[in-house]
């Protein structure tokens, strides 16, 4: 079966589109976060090491994430996989390529979701979350009826630190330095599919469904 990786800057809607795409095609969605949580729950030796990094607030090292991926993926899946947020670096991408030899796993293409910096900054900085029930709103695309208050529980709405403009710009910078080189990597292999993700969710999903075989 076909396997794809989703690439794109923070705020481009990668997680949502990947999940929707998986549902539509009956594929399996794999994110590094899910794998890390599953391993911790399984209580394996690797899971214990992962737990130590997570508890101390540190980043889980690349080689552990790669081991997890290689343990989880198989070359003969009936449904195929969508890798969400992975690979993130050239090093990881090279290791994924090597999985063709080790476990028979082949990435058909990297699907690149594209939107301008301004669009993703607007999307992320407009997000608000309810302190009470965790419902999410967007100042432009889904505002609450009363400014600053949750429609469901009248809780106070707040902005996550991650969504503040300065932080968003910094996340974009990290993406550009770390992940954008992957675009050339897959471009050189002739295995990139570019999707315009600058519109609303339904339009973006239609573009995705049309362009991915």
Q: Which residues bind Zn ion (CB under 5 A)?
A: 130, 132-133, 135, 150, 152-153, 155
Least distance (Å) from Zn ion to the CB of residue 142? 14
**Residues in contact with 122: Cβ distance below 8 Å, sequence separation at least 6, in sequence order:** 140
- Cα(172)–Cα(159) distance, rounded to whole angstroms? 18
- Cα(77)–Cα(27) distance, rounded to whole angstroms? 10
Out of 88, 95, 123, 128, the active site residue is 88
CB 153 within 8 A of CB 134: no
**C-beta closer to Zn ion: residue 70 or 151:** 151
Out of 134, 160, 170, 176, the active site residue is 160
- Cα(119)–Cα(121) distance, rounded to whole angstroms? 5
Residue 49 designated active-site: no
**C-beta closer to Zn ion: residue 39 or 163:** 163
For residue 151 the two structure tokens come to: 């429609």
Least distance (Å) from Zn ion to the CB of residue 155? 4
Instruction: Name the residue with tokens 């990435």.
Output: 107
**Can you say whether the dihedral through the CA atoms of 191, 188, 34, 201 is positive or negative?**
negative
CB count in 10 Å sphere of residue 13 = 22
- Cα(38)–Cα(69) distance, rounded to whole angstroms? 12
Least distance (Å) from Zn ion to the CB of residue 150? 3
**C-beta closer to Zn ion: residue 130 or 168:** 130
**C-beta closer to Zn ion: residue 19 or 135:** 135
Out of 95, 123, 127, 128, the active site residue is 127
Least distance (Å) from Zn ion to the CB of residue 143? 14
Out of 95, 123, 128, 171, the active site residue is 171
Residue 201 designated active-site: no
**Residues in contact with 55: Cβ distance below 8 Å, sequence separation at least 6, in sequence order:** none
CB 172 within 8 A of CB 164: no
Least distance (Å) from Zn ion to the CB of residue 156? 9
Residue 171 designated active-site: yes
DSSP label of 60: P
**C-beta closer to Zn ion: residue 43 or 142:** 142
Residues designated as active site: 14, 88, 127, 160, 171
């Amino acid at each position: 079966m076909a396997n794809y990786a989703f690439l794109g800057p923070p705020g481009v809607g990668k997680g949502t589109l990947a999940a929707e795409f998986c549902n539509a095609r009956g594929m399996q969605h794999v994110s590094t976060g899910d794998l890390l949580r599953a391993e911790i729950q399984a209580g394996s030796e690797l899971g214990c090491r992962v737990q130590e990094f997570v508890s101390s607030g540190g980043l889980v090292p690349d080689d552990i994430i790669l081991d997890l991926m290689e343990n989880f993926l198989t070359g003969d899946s009936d449904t195929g996989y969508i890798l969400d947020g992975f690979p993130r670096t050239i090093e990881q991408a090279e290791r994924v390529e090597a999985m063709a030899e080790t476990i028979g796993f082949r990435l058909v293409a990297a699907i690149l979701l594209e939107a301008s910096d301004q669009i993703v900054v607007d999307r992320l900085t407009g997000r608000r979350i309810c302190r009470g029930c965790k419902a999410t709103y967007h100042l432009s695309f889904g505002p609450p009826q009363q400014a600053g208050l949750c429609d469901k529980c009248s809780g106070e709405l707040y902005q996550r630190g991650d969504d503040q403009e300065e932080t968003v710009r910094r996340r974009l910078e990290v993406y550009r330095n770390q992940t954008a080189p992957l675009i050339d990597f897959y471009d050189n292999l002739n295995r990139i599919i570019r999707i315009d993700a600058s519109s609303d969710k339904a339009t973006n999903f239609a573009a995705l469904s049309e362009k991915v075989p």
